[in-house]
Amino acid sequence: MAQYEAVIGLEVHVELKTDTKIFCHSSTEFGADPNQHVCPVCLGLPGVLPVVNKKVVEYAIKAGLALNCRIAPFSKFDRKNYYYPDLPKNYQISQYDLPIAEHGCLEINVHGAGKRVGITRLHMEEDAGKLVHQGTISSTPFSLVDYNRTGVPLIEIVSEPDMRSADEAVAYLEKLKAIIQYTGVSDCKMQEGSLRCDANISVRPAGQAELGTKTEIKNMNSFKALHKAVNYEIARQIKLLESGGKVVQETRTWDEARGETLSMRSKEEAHDYRYFPDPDLPPLVIDRAWVEAIKAGLPELPDARRQRLVTAYGLPEYDAMVLTSSRELADYYEECVQIYNNPKLVSNWVMGELARMMNAGGQDIQEVRISPAQLARLLQLLDEGTISGRIARTVLEEMYNTGKDAGKVIEEQGLVQISDTGLIEKVVDEVIAANPKSVEDYRAGKEKAIAFLVGQVMKSTRGKANPGLVNELLKGKLNK
Amino acid sequence: MISIKDVEHVALLARLSLTGDEKQVYGKQLSDILENVRKLQDLNTEGVPPTAHVLDLQNVFREDRAGEHMPVDQVLGNAPDRQGNFFKVPKII
């Protein structure tokens, strides 16, 4: 069987976090009742005049700079014409041949291998409305239309076809999301649709320079969906070619429930968008001083911050990468380390126990009730030997659920570590007496048997015995 | 010269259904329009910079400040049909 290489490029739409829409004063707030946040401009009523929201241009430039793009000195808006009920004007205002930013790149790291992915362009456009269907989409004869989202500002970021696997595609999207979030121009919530991703995928025999026929995959609403959809589509295309078939250039939708990509109604001649400059909108002449001012206001970005965490705190590269995956997480970590200067211990707990609970509850760091100061205090108590590691986990869990201080939880539940030698010795004696078999095993050279005995002591002290002391006392007695 | 096929293509994009006669008429009209516009090609544009806009304007911005929304009954006033506060239209998939 011939070896195939996949070629992947992503088109990512990001909603900008402005208060108002791109060309009118209607609110962009998410979750309002249908058709509340509309005005004559975003409804496309006759005779209205769109005017660009300055903040949208500023945010687009900011995102462009963060993605190492060249900011265009001259840029304009164009009309992209197509007829669909989510678009009240029958055209979308977008940018065609003179986008605000071009020629950028970002760095990804997959399984330890670094790679640079090119960014072709970044342009501004307006979002479309939302179609709602009652019952199943195939059985209902109607579409219900909500225009609240119409005119919400978007930037579309188009990558070069530089990715070769689903892992690389996910790494690119994760990095892009982190960079955009760091700049603060969007909150990039995939579940709310403020970050949306389409993938262009083709395959070719390894070593062939010419690209294969591509398909465009839509409707991937999570990183997991992107990964699965890309892998599915690569396998589908290879199988097609292997069996002597041909890939048809088309748009396909990812069906999460079925776990496959399905051909969409070929948007008949949809690519004939007949773009032309929007006569309602005068062009943008971007002043270099403005760009420089925006550049000066850029925060520290993920790559720089990762590097700094490695050098300033001596963290492993991996820890630094995970901690800087979102600005809020990195802020949380650093705030905690400021209070309790034990960078690796803090990192272990943030990436370990805390992340585990956040994943289980589907929460972001912003939603966590434990403040960095509270976590710092817990880790201090652990370090001082007031509580054991195992107890600390229990305490953290309670703190996570209630937001209480570590000290309070420890006091309420009587969880202070027992470091009283006499008390532990008593329990150790009991355990030795009750488990002659394990004692025998240990003395016969089965070193591992001691772990069981330690476990028994911890069990009867409800985890409160100082593990170091338990080990020491047990060994002392057993080795006699 | 615009062919009947071109007319059919443009009609499809504009969601217009045309009779055979109309295709002939609009084909002729579109050809005349294009021929008229084509005359611009005869002009000497040496030294004239490309233009994206006919007015001598640039950077017309508004501040990011919210204003009034339309009352929803007015929004739906021209709707062919409504359900609750949604526009109701035939499904187009």
Domain around A316: 300-412
Over its length of 480 residues, how does chain A's per-residue pLDDT go in tens digits? 569 999 999 999 999 999 999 999 999 998 899 999 999 999 999 999 999 999 999 999 999 999 999 999 999 999 999 888 899 999 999 999 999 999 999 999 998 889 999 999 999 999 999 998 877 666 778 889 999 999 999 999 999 999 999 999 999 999 999 999 999 999 898 888 899 999 999 999 998 999 999 999 998 989 999 999 999 999 999 999 999 999 998 889 999 888 999 888 655 445 688 899 999 999 999 999 999 999 999 999 999 999 999 999 999 999 999 999 889 999 999 999 999 999 999 999 999 889 998 988 888 888 899 999 999 898 988 888 778 888 888 888 888 989 888 888 887 877 777 777 888 888 889 999 999 888 888 888 888 888 888 888 888 887 778 888 888 888 888 887
**B54/A contact by beta carbon, under 8 A:** yes
**Number of independent structural domains in chain A:** 3
DSSP label at residue A353: I
Identify whether residues A286 and A315 lie together within a single domain. no
Interface test with B, best of A83, A142, A185 (most B CBs within 10 A): A142
- What is the predicted ipTM? 0.89
**Domain membership flag for residue B25:** yes
Residue-wise pLDDT for A156-197, tens only, equals: 999 999 999 999 999 999 999 999 999 999 989 888 889 999
CB contact under 8 A, A133 and B68: no
B14-50 confidence digits (pLDDT tens): 889 999 999 999 999 999 999 999 998 899 989 988 8
The CATH number linked to B28 is: 1.10.20.60
State whether A405 and A426 are in the same domain.
no
Q: Using alpha carbons, list the distances in angstroms from residue A379 to A314, A330, A350, A386, B93.
A: 19, 18, 11, 10, 57
B87/A142 Cβ within 8 A: no
* B82: nearest CA partner in chain A: A144
Query: Is residue A209 within 8 Å of A13, Cβ to Cβ?
Result: no
From A37, A141, A282, residue closest to B60, measured CB to CB: A282
Domain that holds residue B21: 1-43
Put simply, the chain A residues between 243 and 282 with a CB less than 8 A from any chain B CB are 265, 268-269, 272, 274, 277, 279, 281-282
Contacts of A21 in chain B (CB under 8 A): none
If asked whether residues A273 and A308 sit together in one domain, one would say no
Considering the domain boundaries, does residue B87 fall inside one?
Answer: no
Q: Cα(A251)–Cα(A84) distance, rounded to whole angstroms? A: 16
Taking only residues 121 to 140 of chain A, the set having a beta carbon closer than 8 angstroms to any beta carbon of chain B reads 132-133, 137, 140
Same domain, A35 and A147: yes
Distance from CA of B65 to the nearest CA of A (A): 6
Nearest CB partner across the interface for B13, out of A55, A269, A282: A269
Q: Any chain A CB within 8 A of the CB of B87?
A: yes
- Under an 8 A CB cutoff, do A27 and B66 touch? yes
Kindly state whether residue B1 falls inside one of the protein's structural domains. yes
Give how far B79 is from chain A: nearest CA, Å.
11
The runs of H, that is alpha helices, within A384-466 are 389-402, 406-412, 421-434, 436-443, 449-460
A470 and A401 within one domain:
no
Q: Are residues A95 and A216 in the same domain?
A: yes
**Chains A and B: how many Cβ contacts under 8 Å?**
131
Computed from CA positions of residues A69, A75, A80, A84, in that sequence, does the dihedral angle turn out positive or negative? positive
> Taking CB atoms and an 8 Å cutoff, what residues of chain A touch B52?
76, 98, 277, 283
- A412, A443, A462 - which closes a domain: A412
Are A252 and A307 part of one and the same domain? no
- Is B88 within a domain? no
Residue A241 shares a structural domain with residue A377 = no
Q: Which of A268, A291, A314 is the last residue of a domain?
A: A291
- A426 phi, psi to nearest 5 deg: -60, -45
Measured CA to CA in angstroms, residue A214 lies from A246, A255, B17 at distances of 11, 19, 32
* Shared-domain flag, residues A120 and A268: yes
Domain count across chain B: 1
The two structure tokens encoding residue B60:
């017309």
- Indicate the burial class of B93 (C-beta count within 10 angstroms; 0-12, 13-18, 19 or more): exposed
Is residue B2, in this structure, part of any structural domain at all?
A: yes
* CB atoms near residue B20 (< 10 Å): 7
Same domain membership, residue A109 and residue A251: yes
Q: Are residues A244 and A324 in the same domain?
A: no
**Within a domain: residue B6?**
yes
* Domain membership flag for residue B77: no
Which amino acid, one-letter code, is at A9?
A: G
**Does the residue B68 lie in any domain?**
no
The DSSP code sequence of A448-472 is THHHHHHHHHHHHTTT-B-HHHHHH
Residues with Cβ < 8 Å from A335, sequence gap 6 or more? Answer: A372, A373
pLDDT of residue A282: 95
Per-residue pLDDT tens for B45-85?
A: 899 888 888 888 999 999 999 999 999 999 999 899 999 99
Specify the CATH number for the domain of residue A430: 1.10.10.410
Tell me the shortest Cα–Cα distance from B52 to chain A, in angstroms. Answer: 6
Last residue of a domain, one of A257, A274, A291: A291
Q: Are residues A239 and A359 in the same domain?
A: no
